């Protein structure tokens, strides 16, 4: 059988309720980010059933999956000019960074008879998306505030995604100051100050979040119970919502070191092998880098060592395991962020909510 992602409904529901309550204590609402699980409808429904009222995804195609779910839908990546029609149809809110894109969004929203909410993104150092120059952001705000089919909804920032610049009180004070400047220039109150992603949770818990910040866009912390500034597990949260089962297709005693002349891998790097002794029990599983990411995956059985993977084979050292594995048995892996994302993207992997 094909490898299968198992989604633990109870653990997910618990995480959602716990993080909502935690953030509520700091006056912060959550936009739950669905891109890790490809905005699967059933999983999104678990989020909404447990109190989430806003869902965010970076892809319009994913938001389309959520069309029958009762929540405010956010597109959290600047939209492609070529997808604005669909974007306005499936997203209630978008994070925007280009005046031209906002203008075209307004035209399309008007044609569709809709009002579209816009959050302007400021780049405060991560050099990913967002306005760097204050004048440019203010100009976009003033323009957007005049457009009939646009609701200038808020301001936001994203850090710790490309340059891994950290959130701190000073940067978020800067965002709050920009909010006040936008309000002065447009004479329009902004509803949302979206202060970041799971890397901002630690700052919030330490009481460093300025009072005006009232929203966070959270994926990893909700789904994996992990904040991203220090990669700590959050108290009273589960980190095993997503796991993956794969089948053993070969089981043999093999040495830990390869033999022959060793070349380079597909990235041009020379592989390194650890000599763990001459007689190690190896399992090959029907799973590969096409379906998961070995670096962000941990076996449930703590005595198993992941040796590595190629596109379609996963090699495990099961010598120390207390369990007697047999050919055809399933091995269960705990999925981290990127591994989970890849598993959900792979058409070779099934999904099951348990
Ligand atoms: C992916 C993403 C998030 C969620 O990030 P997590 O670290 O998973 O919480 C938030 N905002 C934007 C703009 C994103 O692209």
What is the number of the ligand 1 atom nearest to the C-alpha of 156?
Answer: 13
* Predicted pLDDT of residue 268: 85
State the average pLDDT for the chain: 96
Question: Cα(11)–Cα(241) distance, rounded to whole angstroms?
Answer: 6
Ligand 1 center–CA 227 separation, angstroms: 12
Q: State the pLDDT confidence band at 262, using cuts at 50, 70 and 90.
A: confident
Question: Cα(236)–Cα(15) distance, rounded to whole angstroms?
Answer: 8
Active site residue 73: no
**CB of 81 closer than 8 Å to CB of 98:** no
Looking at the chain, list the stretches that DSSP marks H as alpha helix, in order from N- to C-terminal side.
9-24, 41-49, 60-65, 84-90, 99-112, 134-146, 169-186, 201-205, 220-224, 337-345
* Predicted pLDDT of residue 92: 98
Query: At residue 50, does pLDDT exceed 80?
Result: yes
Is residue 76 within 6 Å of ligand 1 at its C-beta? yes
> Which residue is closest in CA terms to ligand 1's atom 8?
219
Out of 35, 64, 104, 350, the active site residue is 35
**Facing residues of 130 across strands?**
none
Q: State the pLDDT confidence band at 252, using cuts at 50, 70 and 90.
A: very high
Closest CA to 72 of 203, 261, 217, 204: 217
Please give the model's pTM, rounded to 2 decimal places. Answer: 0.95
* Predicted pLDDT of residue 21: 98
Share of the chain above pLDDT 70, in %: 99
What is the number of the ligand 1 atom nearest to the C-alpha of 33?
Answer: 4
Query: At residue 279, does pLDDT exceed 80?
Result: no
> Which residue is closest in CA terms to ligand 1's atom 14?
76
* Predicted pLDDT of residue 58: 98
Query: At residue 37, does pLDDT exceed 90?
Result: yes
- For residue 243 the two structure tokens come to 């796991």
Q: What is the DSSP letter of 323?
A: S
Average pLDDT over residues 147-171: 95
**Helix, coil or strand: residue 242:** strand
Q: State the pLDDT confidence band at 121, using cuts at 50, 70 and 90.
A: very high
Average pLDDT over residues 283-301: 97
Query: At residue 278, does pLDDT exceed 80?
Result: no
Tokens 């005049």 sit at which residue? 146
**Helix, coil or strand: residue 198:** helix
Ligand 1 center–CA 221 separation, angstroms: 10
What is the number of the ligand 1 atom nearest to the C-alpha of 36?
Answer: 8
Tokens 């959290």 sit at which residue? 76
Q: State the pLDDT confidence band at 210, using cuts at 50, 70 and 90.
A: very high
Closest CA to 214 of 175, 186, 254: 175
Is residue 198 within 6 Å of ligand 1 at its C-beta? yes
Q: State the pLDDT confidence band at 272, using cuts at 50, 70 and 90.
A: confident
């Amino acid at each position: 059988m094909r490898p299968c992602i198992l989604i633990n409904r109870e653990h997910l529901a618990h995480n959602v309720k716990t993080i909502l309550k935690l953030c509520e204590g700091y006056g912060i609402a959550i936009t739950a980010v669905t891109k890790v699980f490809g905005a699967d409808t059933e999983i999104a429904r678990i989020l909404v059933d447990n109190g989430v009222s806003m869902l965010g995804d970076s892809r319009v195609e994913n938001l389309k999956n959520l069309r029958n779910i009762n929540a405010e839908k956010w597109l959290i990546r600047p939209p492609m000019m070529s997808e604005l029609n669909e974007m306005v149809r499936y997203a209630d809110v978008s994070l925007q960074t280009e005046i031209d894109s906002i203008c075209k969004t307004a035209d399309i929203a008007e044609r569709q008879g809709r009002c579209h909410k816009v959050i302007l993104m400021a780049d405060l150092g991560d050099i990913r998306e967002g306005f760097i120059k204050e004048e440019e952001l203010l100009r976009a705000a003033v323009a957007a505030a005049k457009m009939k089919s646009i609701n200038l909804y808020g301001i936001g920032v994203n850090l710790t995604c490309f340059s891994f610049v950290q959130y701190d009180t000073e940067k978020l004070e800067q965002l709050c100051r920009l909010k006040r400047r936008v309000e002065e220039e447009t004479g329009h109150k902004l509803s949302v100050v979206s202060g970041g992603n799971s890397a901002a949770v630690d700052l919030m818990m330490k009481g460093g979040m300025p009072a005006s910040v009232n929203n966070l866009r959270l994926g990893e912390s909700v789904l994996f119970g992990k904040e991203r500034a220090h990669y700590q597990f959050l108290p009273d949260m589960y980190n095993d919502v997503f796991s993956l089962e794969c089948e053993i297709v070969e089981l043999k005693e093999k040495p830990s070191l390869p033999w022959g002349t060793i070349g380079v891998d597909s990235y041009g790097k020379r592989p390194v092998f650890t000599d763990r002794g001459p007689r190690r029990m190896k399992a090959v599983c029907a799973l590969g880098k096409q379906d998961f990411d070995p670096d962000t995956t941990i076996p449930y059985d703590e005595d198993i060592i992941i040796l590595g993977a190629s596109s379609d084979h996963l090699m495990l050292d099961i010598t120390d395991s207390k369990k007697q594995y047999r050919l055809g048995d399933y091995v269960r892996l705990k999925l981290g962020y990127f591994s989970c994302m890849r598993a959900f993207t792979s058409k070779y992997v099934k999904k099951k909510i348990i």
